[in-house]
Amino acid sequence: KMRMCVYRDLHRRGYWLTGGLKYGADFLAYKGDPRLHHADYMVVIAGQQETIQPSHIVSIGRVGAAASKLGLIASLGLDQEVHYVTVKYSSHLETNN
């Protein structure tokens, strides 16, 4: 059920979706036709009560960075709406100078 809800929500937002198994994700999300565009997101679906280990969040970010994609963790909330958190890996901390 969650997988279908996430698929429908992203499709409604204008994304094209393909399988993401190659990257350890549920989907890859594209802003246009996958034959013409690079995927913007690796979508990983997390359950409502699922605890995501910090190492898994880091791995989503690192694989996404290596593949020039952002990680996108999707979850179905108690309100039955799909909620998203983006994950971007950075090997250094930027300063505010």
Cite the active site residues. Answer: 30, 38, 69
Start-end of H helices in the chain: 2-12, 54-66
Give the three-class secondary structure for 68: coil
Longest dimension (CA), the chain: 47
Burial 23-42 (b: 16+ CB within 10 A, else e): bebbbbbbeeeeeeeebbbb
Query: Among 94, 87, 82, 84, which residue's Cα sits nearest to residue 23?
Result: 87
